[in-house]
Amino acid sequence: MQRIAFWQLPLGVKIAVGVAFASLWMCIEGFIVEPLRLWRYMPFYKVGNFCVWDLAVGSIIVLATWRASRRSHNQAM
């Protein structure tokens, strides 16, 4: 069986991976950051609302997924 690179997967799978990582961040917020009150040490964090941290993590997820979706120049087809 051949391994398939991430850039070869269909767009729906790539979107699902991004949504899974976004869900993971929401779980980390809900089960770790807020109950343990770690938000006190996170500047600009707003409990229960969209904040700069959500924007930053969302941007990182989108950029990492986009970068992984591109075929690198040194890889042969």
Three-state SS string across the chain, please? CCCCCHHHCCHHHHHHHHHHHHHHHHHHHHHHHCCCCHHHHCCCCCCCCCCHHHHHHHHHHHHHHHHHHCCCCCCCC
Those residues of the chain that have pLDDT short of 70 are 72-77
pLDDT of residue 31: 96
pTM of the model: 0.83
pLDDT of residue 58: 96
pLDDT of residue 71: 80
